Structure formats: C-alpha cells, structure tokens
C-alpha cells in the first residue's frame, strides 16, 4: 500500500498527462479526495498539466441543511439527549451550534459509531436522539442498528442520510459548471457498486472514474479521465477495484433498502432533490425521531442571518465557487469562528483549504 504514495510513480503519471496538452475540468465529490489532493500537492501538480479538479457535494455534514441542525437543536432544548458524530458538533446556525448548546447545559454527546449511541441510550432514561448523517457509506450502519429487535425504547434516529447519486445528477442537470469528467467517491461506491454510474454515462455522456484515496489512485484516475476525453468515449472505469465491485456490498444495500425509503429533501446549496433522502420506513417508526417528535419539529423555522446570507458554502458545494472566492473566507469565517459548515467538517472544502492548502 505504501507504493500508492510513491512520489516518483505519481510524478510519472502526471508527466504522461502533460503529454496530452489538455485543458480539462473534473469534479470529485468526496472530502477525503479533496484532502488527498491538497495534502499531497496533487491539485497544483495537476494544474501544471492543464487539469483542474473541483470539489462537489461530497461532504455529508456540509450538505445537511441549517434547518435540520436547528431541528436537532430544538430537540436538545426540549430535553432530549442528542448524539452526533464529532463533525456535526460545531456546525453554526445563526451564531449557535450543538456545542454552544452543550456549553449552555443541554445534553449533547459525540460518538464514533451508531453502536456507541445505542449503548449510551441503554444507560439513560431520557429520550436519546441520534443525528444520523452520511451517504450510502454510513447509512447501512444505522440500518443494521434499526433492524435489531432489542433496541432500547428511548433510542431514536433523526435521519439526515442521503443518496449520493441524485445530487450528482442534479448538479449535472443544473449545468452551471462545465465538467469533462467525474471522480466518483470510492467508499460510497464500495456500497453501491460501479453499476449505478452507468445511468450518468447514458444520460450525460461524461467520463467517470471511481477512485481510491491514495495519491497514486487520484493520479491514475485523472489520467484515466484525460484518456477518455482524448478518445472521445465516456466510460465508467473502476480504479478502486481493490475495494469496489460492480454490484457493491449487496448485504449492506439490502440492509439500507429494508430500513430506508426514498424521500425528497433540500441539500445545502441545492434546491429540493427528489428521492435523495433516506427516510425511515414506517415499520421502524417507533425509533424514527422525525415521526415521533413531528409536533416539535414541524414548528421549527430557519431564516439565515445577514452574515449567513454572504456565506458561499452552497456554491462551493456545487463547484461554482472556490473557498477563496467567498468574501468571508479566512476573514470573518475562520477555523476558530466558522460561519458555514464547509469551514467546520473535516471534509469541508474551506476547512481543508485553510488547514492544508497555501492561503
């Protein structure tokens, strides 16, 4: 595996790309891809050979809307114990966040896994609400838990899980960015498989590659997309075949589809994307926070503050803007005082740019 970080091999592939003399725009949709691109300086290496890789809607915490965060905050204020993945804690909404609620004495806790959340619920009598965020990579883990028949009665899931492909399709439909290739996310693909991307090929005739996360994976993926452009024949190539199969993880998919059904939902920076929400099926409603606490949640509203209106996180997620295009970036919006989710999540483009990039 160390060889997948071999600088000589990476530079060799990039030199090969350079021989094609191209000017192409690609997009990835995964925070871990963004981190590899910036950490290993691949973005600037690619830039020298005419390849630009934009970042897309690949950060699940970032694409979750402010309203969903406000709803979870409301449940905390109503006395529920809120459990989140660490990345959600500091997402700001109008100057508040789950961490600020915790500082105000409300019960907000962080876990690494949904299993830890269940264990936590077993130890308390209060209602415990797990804010479930993530694409197909994470959703089967929540699903596996909801399928258990010995869940504590006080354990509820607030599903913010989303299907990834509808967002990519929406982005291509919007047509705001000219793209000549997509680097598809390796770990979403580990679950869904390579096959679903054929629908994108069929409809949009755009080259695609499913990529791993080592720098050599991304160099190879860029090379593959360049080659497809030169040959003029869009394909779905699976570069990450050590982990991704054609049909994906069928066990995980079965779990996912038996627990969740498709629902319509807004994404940060996007209009409502049909069939992109993983909504908990009715037969699991005893543990569905959105169903059980509907009376509280339906009253929640969200209006962005003046400063939030200037945050360009939504455009960054659509690949229309780069972090440095935002007037708030590294001035008003910083790692210590973030304004948008893209500055909070470890997968957020703004945070990665500020932490690892050259600003």
Partner 1 sequence: MCLAIPGKIVERRGDQGTVDFGGAYRQVNLSLVKARVGDYVIVHAGFAISKVRRREAEKTLELVRQIMQG
Tokens read off for 352: 């990665």
Residue 349 is a binding residue for partner 1 (CB under 8 A): no
Residue 347 is a binding residue for partner 1 (CB under 8 A): yes
Shortest distance, CB of residue 11 to partner 1, whole angstroms? Answer: 10
How many whole angstroms separate alpha carbon 300 and alpha carbon 268? 17
CA angle 239, 243, 249 (to 5 degrees): 120
Shortest distance, CB of residue 163 to partner 1, whole angstroms? Answer: 13
Q: Which stretch binds partner 1 (CB under 8 A): 66-74, 112-120, 199-207, 335-343?
A: 112-120
> Of all residues in the chain, what percent are helix, strand and coil, respectively (each to 5)?
45, 20, 35
Nearer to partner 1, 124 or 243 (CB): 243
How many whole angstroms separate alpha carbon 349 and alpha carbon 322? 8
- Closest listed residue to residue 142, CA positions, set 159, 154, 163: 159
How many whole angstroms separate alpha carbon 91 and alpha carbon 326? 18
Residue 4 is a binding residue for partner 1 (CB under 8 A): yes
Residue 26, helix vs strand vs coil = strand
Residue 119 is a binding residue for partner 1 (CB under 8 A): no
The neighbour count for residue 192, using CB atoms within 10 Å, is: 25
Shortest distance, CB of residue 118 to partner 1, whole angstroms? Answer: 11
Binding mask 213-252 for partner 1 (x = CB under 8 A): ---xx--x--x---------------x-xxxx----x-xx
Which residues between 124 and 183 bind partner 1 (CB under 8 A)?
A: 133-135, 137-138, 140-141, 144
How many whole angstroms separate alpha carbon 300 and alpha carbon 304? 13
| Cα 160 from chain centre | 11
- Closest listed residue to residue 131, CA positions, set 164, 165, 97: 97
Instruction: State the first-to-last Cα distance of the chain, in angstroms, to the nearest integer.
Output: 31
- Closest listed residue to residue 53, CA positions, set 199, 270, 226: 226
Shortest distance, CB of residue 350 to partner 1, whole angstroms? Answer: 16
Q: Binder to partner 1 among 92, 181, 185, 207 (CB under 8 A)?
A: 185
Nearer to partner 1, 97 or 138 (CB): 138
The answer to whether the beta carbons of residues 64 and 71 sit under 8 Å apart is no
Residue 121 is a binding residue for partner 1 (CB under 8 A): no
Shortest distance, CB of residue 243 to partner 1, whole angstroms? Answer: 5
Q: Binder to partner 1 among 313, 343, 345, 352 (CB under 8 A)?
A: 345
Nearer to partner 1, 91 or 328 (CB): 91
Residue 83 is a binding residue for partner 1 (CB under 8 A): no
Q: Binder to partner 1 among 49, 61, 277, 313 (CB under 8 A)?
A: 61
How many whole angstroms separate alpha carbon 108 and alpha carbon 11? 46
Shortest distance, CB of residue 198 to partner 1, whole angstroms? Answer: 20
In the complex, the residues that contact partner 1 under the rule CB under 8 A are: 1, 3-4, 9, 12-13, 16, 30-32, 58-61, 85, 87, 112-116, 133-135, 137-138, 140-141, 144, 185, 187-188, 190-191, 212, 216-217, 220, 223, 239, 241-244, 249, 251-252, 255, 345-347
């Amino acid at each position: 595996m160390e060889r997948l970080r071999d600088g000589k091999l990476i530079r060799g592939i990039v030199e090969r790309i350079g021989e094609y003399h191209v000017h192409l725009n690609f997009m990835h949709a995964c925070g871990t891809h963004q981190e590899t691109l910036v950490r290993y300086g691949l973005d600037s290496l690619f830039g020298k050979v005419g390849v630009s890789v934009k970042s897309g809607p690949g950060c699940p915490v970032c694409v979750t809307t402010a309203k969903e965060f406000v709803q979870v905050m409301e449940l905390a204020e109503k006395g529920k114990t809120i459990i989140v993945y660490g990345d959600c804690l500091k997402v700001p909404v109008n100057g508040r966040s789950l961490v600020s609620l915790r500082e105000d004495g409300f019960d907000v806790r962080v876990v690494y896994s949904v299993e830890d959340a269940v264990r936590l619920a077993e130890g308390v009598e209060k209602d415990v609400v797990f804010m479930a965020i993530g694409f197909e990579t994470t959703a089967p883990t929540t699903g596996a838990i909801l399928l258990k028949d010995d869940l504590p009665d006080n354990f509820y899931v607030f599903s913010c899980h989303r299907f990834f492909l509808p967002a990519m399709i929406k982005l291509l439909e919007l047509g705001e960015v000219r793209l000549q290739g997509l680097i598809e996310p390796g770990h979403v693909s580990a679950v869904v498989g390579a096959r679903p991307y054929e629908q994108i090929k069929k409809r949009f005739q755009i080259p695609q590659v499913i990529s791993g996360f080592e720098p050599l994976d991304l160099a190879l993926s860029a090379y593959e997309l360049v080659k497809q452009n030169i040959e003029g024949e869009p394909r779905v190539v699976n570069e990450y075949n050590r982990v991704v199969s054609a049909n994906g993880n069928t066990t995980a998919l079965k779990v996912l589809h038996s627990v969740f059904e498709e629902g319509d939902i807004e994404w940060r920076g996007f209009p409502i994307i049909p069939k992109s929400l993983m909504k908990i099926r009715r037969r699991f409603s005893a543990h569905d926070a959105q169903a059980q606490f509907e009376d509280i949640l339906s009253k929640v509203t969200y209006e962005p503050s003046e400063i939030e209106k200037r945050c360009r996180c939504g455009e960054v997620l659509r690949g229309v803007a780069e972090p440095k295009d935002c007037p708030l970036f590294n001035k008003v919006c910083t790692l210590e005082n973030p304004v948008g989710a893209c500055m909070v999540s470890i997968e957020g483009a703004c945070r990665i740019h500020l932490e690892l990039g050259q600003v």
